Amino acid sequence: MRSNETTGLLYALAGFAVLSCGDAVIKTMAGQWSPVGIAALRFGIAAIALGSLLFWREGTAGFRLAKPGAQFGRGASLAVSSTIFFTSLFVLPLATATAIGFTSPMFTAILAALLLGEPMRRATWIASLLAFAGVLVVLRPNLAEAGWWAVLPIGSAFMFALLIIGNRKVAGTASPLAMQFWVAVFAAPILIVAAPLFAATGVERFALGWPDWSVLARCAFVALTATCAHWLVYLGTTRAGAASVAPMMYVQLLVASVIGWAWFGDHPDALTLLGAGIIVAAGLYLWRAGQVREPAESE
């Protein structure tokens, strides 16, 4: 049993690390194509690949759609979250955007209370206040350089939290593979429509045009690695449990920091590192409070 849990933690660790590698590849496309176009291409490729795999594994039965409204909400939330996060990667250091994105668990806890009627615990309030204090510390040096673009990861974290709420709504209605397929198949058309609309604003950052072959290749790479990463996290969760796996997500910050330093020459200052540490501490505190509460409730 212990060996199975250790294997699960290693799966999850690898999955979260791969996600940061994909984010780094997205950052290499800054200025080469619209972030909305990149998101549309990434999810379009994922939808086709996942649909093919789903048909091979489960046949036509795998395409039965339960709770279409909630599934559409999942896709829309991920489409918006990814677009905002990809845009933030074009203007912020990789580690900074990743750190601010870790406010998502706090948003999830707050939204679960507002939308699902779950109790709003004291630990949630403490963790949320602590996390947003960390965000303010992280933003302090970056607002001066990037302007209000620096707050984009907060919006991305909020929309990702909506995705998690949607996941709870549809839990158990299909296999994990089908869940990945449906979120991609709903996100892709939203982004395909949004990309030319953003381009029509005339903002250079969102200009489309025909992408270079290397952009297409990198989008395909990100689609593949993100799908593999989510699958690794799923395997880790089934072996070690969601509560045990949750802290493994913070390896993303370590990987993002190393890649940012080595690949992009991003050298975070002391205050940025302090703010990132505060956000991580808030997330770990919220996770620990949940662990303590679960055994108490089962007694």
pLDDT tops 80 at residue 148: no
Spatial separation of the C-alpha atoms in residues 255 and 263, rounded to whole Å: 11
Task: Count up the domains in the chain and report the number.
Answer: 1
Domain that holds residue 97: 2-298
What is the SS3 assignment for the chain?
Answer: CHHHHHHHHHHHHHHHHHHHHHHHHHHCCCCCCCHHHHHHHHHHHHHHHHHHHHHHHHHHHHHCCCCHHHHHHHHHHHHHHHHHHHHHHHHCCHHHHHHHHCCHHHHHHHHHHHHCCCCCCHHHHHHHHHHHHHHHHHHHHHHHHHHHHHHHHHHHHHHHHHHHHHHHHHCCCCCHHHHHHHHHHHHHHHHHHHHHHHHCCCCHHHCCCCCCHHHHHHHHHHHHHHHHHHHHHHHHHHHHCHHHHHHHHHHHHHHHHHHHHHHCCCCCCHHHHHHHHHHHHHHHHHHHHHHHHHHHHHC
Which is more confidently placed, 247 or 178?
178
Give the mean pLDDT of the chain.
Answer: 86
Average pLDDT over residues 161-186: 89
User: Of the ranges 2-11, 36-45, 163-172, which one carries the lowest mean pLDDT score?
Assistant: 2-11
Q: What is the pLDDT of residues 224-243, one digit of tens each?
A: 998 888 888 888 877 776 66
Least confident of 17-31, 138-152, 174-188, 192-206: 138-152
Where does the pLDDT of residue 144 fall: very low under 50, low under 70, confident under 90, or very high at 90 and above? low
Nearest to residue 108, comparing CAs of 92, 93, 127, 95?
127
Task: Determine the pLDDT at residue 282.
Answer: 86
Whether the Cβ atoms of residue 183 and residue 75 lie closer than 8 Å to each other: yes
Residue 179 and residue 54 in contact, taking contact as beta carbons nearer than 8 Å? no
Sign of CA dihedral 5, 124, 150, 180: positive
For 95-148, the three-class secondary structure string (H helix, E strand, C coil) is: HHHHHHHCCHHHHHHHHHHHHCCCCCCHHHHHHHHHHHHHHHHHHHHHHHHHHH
- Report pLDDT digits (tens) over 121-132: 788 788 888 888
Write down the pTM of the prediction.
0.86
pLDDT for residue 294 is more than 80: no
